[in-house]
Amino acid sequence: MNGHDPVTDGEFAGTTAVVSGAGSGIGRHVAQTLAACGSTVALLDRDAKAVRAAAEECAAAGFSVLPVAVDVADSGAVDRAVAEVEDACGPIDHLVSAAGVLRLGDVATTTDEDWRHIFSVNVDGVFHLSRAVLRRMMPRRRGTIVTVASNAGRVPRAQMAAYGASKAATAHFAKSLALEAAAFGIRCNVVSPGSTDTPMLRSMWTDDSGPVHTVDGDPAAYRLGIPLRKLARPADITDAVLFLLSARSGHITMQDLCVDGGAVLGA
């Protein structure tokens, strides 16, 4: 934006960031980009092998990172992880909650376990991590938090009732968080991606026609396509996240930026 490049301008140099869901997909791309921008990044993910691999890629490039294997659904584990990050890396300046899970299914066939698993990660996990980090940011009266939700939290989707409900709850929580944090100079915003080329999206495809059907939409499922005629890349979501973390958005808080190529028609 206006020639600004956070990598070369050094905006994130010397900061400490925490990114959950950093083992794959959007979270991994956000974490690696922040590291490339000069931030010391704690990569959180319950998949120890995946988060270690992501951290090794960063370390090989000379970036400063700390892999932390943690299940964000576990409140106590999150508190311990955040303490570990601050002990090892210093005060946390930025938090990106990108951990999320998806299980498809009609409401009639969705099990209690499916419902609880989705909410334990997508809602409880965001709450646990936001609370733990906010408690440390408040005395310092600074910090930025970005929560990754989904455009599925804005419009109904067949076979995605649990996922959509969890993301709607996540976005609303993040806005209330922002209202309470504002008095301490802490900004909190939401990025709601649409269909993005990640392992989560690919898990929904049954054959090679998946990308075409995603872009074209599915009238039988009352699902619109993508007006921009393309899937998002993880980098598209990362750009939005970094903007909301940066000083360029210094007067923006409580907002939900939908990055979906127009798929929900601005809903």
Q: Across residues 251-259, what is the average pLDDT?
A: 98
Residue 90 Rama label (left phi>0; alpha psi -120 to 50; beta): left
**Residues 186-200: what's their mean pLDDT?**
92
Q: Which domains are seen in the chain, by residue range?
A: 7-199+233-257 (3.40.50.720)
Instruction: Give 194-250 pLDDT, tens digit per residue.
Output: 989 887 777 776 777 777 778 888 888 878 899 999 999 999 999 999 999 999 999
Indicate whether 8 pLDDT > 60.
no
| pLDDT of amino acid 109 | 95
Token digits of residue 174: 């993040």
pLDDT in the model for residue 84 = 98
- Residue 4 CA: distances (Å) to CA of 44, 51, 89, 234: 28, 30, 27, 20
The pLDDT tens digits for 43-58 are: 999 999 999 999 999 9
Check whether 105 has a pLDDT greater than 90: yes
Percentage of the chain modeled with pLDDT above 90: 85
Q: Is residue 5 very low, low, confident or very high in pLDDT (cuts 50, 70, 90)?
A: low
Type of residue numbered 94? H
Residue 7: pLDDT over 90? no
Q: Residue 4's pLDDT is what?
A: 52
Q: Are 255 and 190 in contact (CB under 8 A)?
A: yes
Contact at 8 Å (CB) between 193 and 100? no
Q: What is the mean pLDDT of the chain?
A: 93
Q: What global pTM score does this model have? A: 0.93
Provide long-range contacts, Cβ within 8 A and 24+ apart, for 106-114.
106/158, 106/159, 106/161, 107/161, 110/161, 110/162, 114/162
Q: What whole-number percentage of the chain has pLDDT above 70?
A: 96
For 135-152, the pLDDT digits (tens) are 999 999 999 999 999 999
For helices 125-140 and 161-181, give the axis angle rounded to 10 degrees.
10
| Cα–Cα distance measured from residue 153 to residue 147, given in angstroms and rounded to the nearest whole number | 13
d(CA 66, CA 100): 20
pLDDT band at 267 (very low <50, low <70, confident <90, very high): confident
Residue 66 and residue 39 in contact, taking contact as beta carbons nearer than 8 Å = no
From 63, 119, 163, 243, the catalytic residue: 163
222 is catalytic: no
